Structure 1
Amino acid sequence: MASESSNSKPVILVVAGVIEKQGKYLLTQRHEHASQGGLWEFPGGKVEAGETDQQALERELREELAIESATGQFLADSVFDYGDKVVHLKGYLTHWVSGELVLHSHQDATWVECDEIKAFTLCPADYPIVEVLESLPRE
């Protein structure tokens, strides 16, 4: 779902799943040849026309990671200008329902504690989501 911003760069709406499992969170690493190559991110992807954020996130996680998920609480959004495009990223707490992780769109994945996330070099748009995640009460 791209729209034009006032400076005529495309604005791309993207959803990201902050997947929690046994107290750890999933980070995925972008392929080196991709935009933001080598950086880590919360997995997800573009919202297509006619999709809700929830539908898009669950579809993207199925396509990219071969897992079934349930979208939970909205965490945060950020708007980041990457130069050639503007990404509006919306992060949601996401629950792993079923499936075994298969990396279709990433070169690596790791499970980390919340306080370990900032040790990874994330895509810039993901940092506001991390800040909100860090502020949530821990069980």
Structure 2
Amino acid sequence: MLRSVMASQPQVIQVVAGVIEKSGRYLLAQRPAGASQGNLWEFPGGKVERGETPAQALARELHEELAITTRTGDWLADSVFDYGDKVIHLKGYLSHWQAGELALHSHQDAVWVTADEMARYTLCPADLPIVEALLQRERG
């Protein structure tokens, strides 16, 4: 009996990240120790659900994860990163804090930093092109 075996391709997950700006600083959030990419820092966000635009997904995710209201601004960069079991297609956007008191529902820590201070933190690999785009934007 002959069988055809096809190599399984990792799932591509569409994700958005918010580079949240408030008073000239940006929010980095630390992933929980037991999670994928545990203890690494990231721009918060999450998966784009069916029927959502990236801006809608980002507003929803930031409200769910951080209990804040934001306004999605300019696109900064796309990043595609293969984690082995999945491929993340990440779209990074500037996001502007509108209202709310920060509450960490999905992260273990958060810090407000300047763009130049981000190099002091170990970020998720998929977030690095977004940091580069932010630095280029700030330096003109």
Shorter chain as denominator, the TM-score bin is over 0.9
Aligned to 1:71: 72
Aligned to 1:132: 133
Instruction: State TM-score, norm by structure 1.
Output: 0.93
Deviation at 1:136, TM superposition (A): 1.0
Aligned to 1:113: 114
Aligned to 1:82: 83
Aligned to 1:104: 105
Runs of 4+ aligned residues of structure 1 deviating over 2 Å after TM superposition are none
Superposed CA RMSD in Å reads 1.4
User: What is the distance in 1 between the residues matched to 2:50 and 2:27?
Assistant: 27
Which amino acid in structure 2 is aligned with residue 45 of structure 1?
G
Structure exhibiting the larger radius of gyration computed from Cα positions: 2
Q: Extract unaligned runs of 5+ from structure 2.
A: 1-6
Q: 1:23 to 1:138 in 2, by over 3 A?
A: farther
Matched, 1:12 2:10: no
Which amino acid in structure 1 is aligned with residue 98 of structure 2?
V
Aligned length: 134
Aligned to 2:36: 35
Deviation at 1:7, TM superposition (A): 5.6
> 1:59-103 CA deviation, whole Å, 9 max, x = no partner?
000000000011000000000000100000000000000000000
Instruction: State TM-score, norm by structure 2.
Output: 0.93
